[in-house]
Structure 1
Amino acid sequence: MTKTFARAAAVGAAALLLASCGERPDEGAGATPGATGGAAEEKFSACMVLDVGGVDDRSFNQSSWAGLQAAQKANPDIEISHVPSTDDAAYVPNLQAQVSKGCNTVIAVGGLMTDAVEEVATANPDQQFAQIDAAPAADNVYGMQFNTAEGGFLAGYLSAGMTKTGKVGTWGGLNIPPVTAYMDGFWEGVQHHNKEKGTDVQVLGWDETTQQGSFSEDFLDQAKGRSITETLISQGADIVLPVAGQSGLGAGAAAEAAKAEGKDVKLIWVDTDGCESAAQYCPFFLTSVTKNLSGAVEEYTTAAAGGEFPEGQYLGTLENEGTGIAPFHEFDSQVPAELKADLDKVKAGIIDGSITITSQSQPKE
């Protein structure tokens, strides 16, 4: 069965802001015990296995951890901890270690862990798991997925309405559905603007029809991210959407360099509101395509700690605020009122089904 949790995006954003502004947790231990008082058996232990990039990646790891922090803040009887993964070889050992230490639930961050989650969950059928960016891999796994093609569509439409060069760009970390869903949506949003407004805006770095494009093959290397972004800028793109975790921060450096050369380049961040998670580059962020990772994790953990483990999966959409676009921040006055109104109409059309997104990377209910 599928359960959806409608959470205000502001809750997740506030939790993420607290996470990004505080001291970096000790990744060796990663534990944050609950408040003192009460019997030990009353505590609920929620343990998170992070993907590469660490807890302060300004993206999905950090936002997911912020959800656990928010759950603990609301219920001090929840004990939380996290462990980083240095590479994919660490997934299985990390997951099994959380089972061995007696966690009530183990939350895996990222679709790349699917095989590892299936292996460990199948071997431990009495253990409860949850996984972000993946459908349930076993009966004891709760999936949390986000249809970011919907938020990406809005970003593409916005970009097509704001570009001065008639060229926009996007690139990803890996050619996998959680990444290409953003890119497909962006591409389709540009095409929709072209159709509705008679424009001829080109998308560089990705072609949904061929599923070919630019990838850093990495979620950490900012130098690669800068190089790819600089290439797109040199080809005429003045708005760029990187979908690559920390590698995407290289796009910020590329935008700064372009500004020094007199070029006006805007960026669109993903997963979180970039003006909160990567504030140093806020002057370049036209908006961000968000997914309410922190809200979904908080809701799951709160329910599980209350004795009711959610079943099936959560699917974040525009309708339940699981995805969307962030405020325009410093660019708000530059986005025409007509374009803002059009974005509201496009959003409504996606929700009511009158606008169809065809991306094959969209998660299924």
Structure 2
Amino acid sequence: MKKRLLSLLAVSAITVTLFAGCGSSGSGTGTADKGSSNAKEYQVAMVTDTGGVNDQSFNQSSWEGLQNFEKNNKGAKVSYLESKQESDYATNLDKVVDSGNKLVWGIGFAMADAIAKAAKSNPDVNYAIVDNSYVDPTTGEDKTPANVTGVMFKAQEPSFIVGYIAAKTTKTGKVGFVGGIKSGIIDQFQFGYQAGVQYAAKELGKDITVDVQYAESFSDASKGKAIANKMFSSGCDIVFHAAGGVGVGVIEAAKEANKFAIGVDRDQAYLAPDNVLTSALKLANVAVENLSKEAMSGNKIGGKTYTYGLKENAVGIPTENKNMDPEVYKAAMAVQDKIKNGEIVPPYNEETFNSFGK
């Protein structure tokens, strides 16, 4: 099992050094490539949410997936546009279509409406969105447009695991969670984490509390740092974030306070090697690369949502966790197995959390 996750992580472990090559072939900040005269090229573009392409989180992971797609598929050409504010979404989506892209990725649930409108206006263009499904949560009716692909992750699964690890590691009996903007997606992280803490606390026969706060942003690193500083000064010794660029501030605060942070989406240990306990991986790069390849091959990916979890080896934690007690890692892997086989079903919102374990 560990080897399978390691093999996927090898796909995701493109370093920030590679990322510094954003001006390389097929990429650009602020502009998308103009339509090419080479008919054999398959152009794919990505539009970020307000976190930006260098968010050290899932925008960056998604871009790494496209870079890998270009590298591994002859004729593939990729680019991105950054959105500084929500009003940029529609404009950027129009720009990448005008540039001749055949597949357009929107990164983040906040782009759901803009993607749906763009898809309706451009029925001959394929669109895909990370972290959004067009299935009606009340009726279960799938309203995904024929030329749109939804990509969802069971983020509650790795969040449960890192919550379990936090509870097994804390010395103060108090841990924290910093969210970006409250939503159904971030609920998966929060309540999965809280349930993992609760599960381990019961195992240990201890009371362990979770301090939860939201930054109302995915880009304000200074706000993340201020929230985390307050948590650390009030007794938390471990803080998990699901907050995009805000989380960079959380990790910086952990480094300065000599406490632990838990990263998200990708292995964030490189941001503070001695102060990142582990990370809840959501391998957006794997989904983006694989689905882009499917589309380039002519396979129909539109009109449905793909959901990735532990069973698909698309979420988890890193195999290398130098700050974690090996016995805690071993216990966490046993918990991971229980999630995979259905023995543990992590909650993904407040309702399922309230009924968890009852």
Residue number in structure 2 paired with 1:3: none
Amino acid in structure 2 at the alignment position of 1:10: L
Q: 1:30 to 1:356 in 2, by over 3 A?
A: same
Aligned residue runs from structure 1 range 57-68, under 5 A: 57-68=55-66
Residue number in structure 1 paired with 2:266: 272
Q: Aligned-pair distance for 1:14?
A: 2.8
Asked whether the 8 Å contact 1:32–1:81 carries over to 2, the reply is: no
Q: Hey, what's the Cα distance between the residues in 2 that align with 1:177 and 1:110? A: 12
Q: Hey, what's the Cα distance between the residues in 1 that align with 2:346 and 2:9? A: 26
Asked whether the 8 Å contact 2:6–2:318 carries over to 1, the reply is: no
Asked whether the 8 Å contact 2:22–2:29 carries over to 1, the reply is: no
1:40 is paired with a residue whose SS is coil
Q: Aligned-pair distance for 1:33?
A: 10
Q: Aligned-pair distance for 1:161?
A: 0.3
Amino acid in structure 1 at the alignment position of 2:311: E
Residue number in structure 2 paired with 1:348: 337
Q: Aligned-pair distance for 1:309?
A: 3.2
Aligned residue pairs: how many?
334
RMSD: 2.3
Residue number in structure 2 paired with 1:107: 105
Q: Which shows bigger deviation, 228-237 or 15-24? A: 15-24
Q: Aligned-pair distance for 1:336?
A: 4.0
Residue number in structure 1 paired with 2:354: none
2:175 is paired with a residue whose SS is strand
Amino acid in structure 2 at the alignment position of 1:243: A
Q: 1:271 to 1:7 in 2, by over 3 A?
A: same
Residue number in structure 2 paired with 1:241: 240
Q: Aligned-pair distance for 1:252?
A: 2.3
Asked whether the 8 Å contact 1:177–1:361 carries over to 2, the reply is: no
Q: 1:309 to 1:14 in 2, by over 3 A?
A: farther
Q: 1:33 to 1:91 in 2, by over 3 A?
A: closer
Q: Aligned-pair distance for 1:268?
A: 0.4
Q: Hey, what's the Cα distance between the residues in 1 that align with 2:211 and 2:154? A: 22
Q: 1:16 to 1:177 in 2, by over 3 A?
A: farther
Q: 1:145 aligned to 139, 152, 158, which one?
A: 152
2:245 is paired with a residue whose SS is helix
Q: Hey, what's the Cα distance between the residues in 1 that align with 2:350 and 2:11? A: 24
2:39 is paired with a residue whose SS is helix
Aligned residue runs from structure 1 range 57-96, under 5 A: 57-96=55-94
Amino acid in structure 2 at the alignment position of 1:67: G
CA-to-aligned-CA distance 1:177-219 (integer Å, 9 cap, x gap): 22221111110001111222312111111xxxxxxxx111111
Q: Hey, what's the Cα distance between the residues in 1 that align with 2:95 and 2:222? A: 33
Q: 1:351 to 1:320 in 2, by over 3 A?
A: same
Q: Aligned-pair distance for 1:7?
A: 9.9
Q: 1:15 to 1:305 in 2, by over 3 A?
A: farther
Q: Hey, what's the Cα distance between the residues in 1 that align with 2:35 and 2:51? A: 23
2:281 is paired with a residue whose SS is strand
Q: 2:51 aligned to 40, 44, 53, which one?
A: 53
Asked whether the 8 Å contact 1:315–1:322 carries over to 2, the reply is: no
Asked whether the 8 Å contact 1:129–1:140 carries over to 2, the reply is: yes
CA-to-aligned-CA distance 1:105-159 (integer Å, 9 cap, x gap): 1111111000111111122222211100011442211111111100000000000
Consecutive unaligned residues of structure 2, counting only runs of 5 or more, are: 135-143, 352-358
Residue number in structure 1 paired with 2:133: 135
Asked whether the 8 Å contact 1:7–1:322 carries over to 2, the reply is: no
Q: Aligned-pair distance for 1:248?
A: 0.9
Amino acid in structure 1 at the alignment position of 2:253: A
TM-score when normalising by structure 2: 0.87
Q: Which shows bigger deviation, 222-231 or 303-312? A: 303-312
If asked which structure has higher relative contact order (CA below 8 Å, sep 6+), I would say 1
Q: Aligned-pair distance for 1:22?
A: 3.8
Residue number in structure 2 paired with 1:319: 311
Amino acid in structure 2 at the alignment position of 1:91: Y
Residue number in structure 2 paired with 1:300: 291
Asked whether the 8 Å contact 1:300–1:309 carries over to 2, the reply is: no
Asked whether the 8 Å contact 2:281–2:317 carries over to 1, the reply is: yes
Correspondence 1:29 to 2:31 = yes
Residue number in structure 2 paired with 1:180: 187
Consecutive unaligned residues of structure 1, counting only runs of 5 or more, are: 1-5, 206-213, 260-264
Residue number in structure 2 paired with 1:210: none
Residue number in structure 2 paired with 1:220: 219
Residue number in structure 2 paired with 1:262: none
Residue number in structure 1 paired with 2:202: 195
Asked whether the 8 Å contact 1:241–1:268 carries over to 2, the reply is: yes
Q: Hey, what's the Cα distance between the residues in 2 that align with 1:347 and 1:112? A: 30
Q: Which shows bigger deviation, 23-32 or 84-93? A: 23-32
Q: How many percent identity over aligned positions?
A: 32
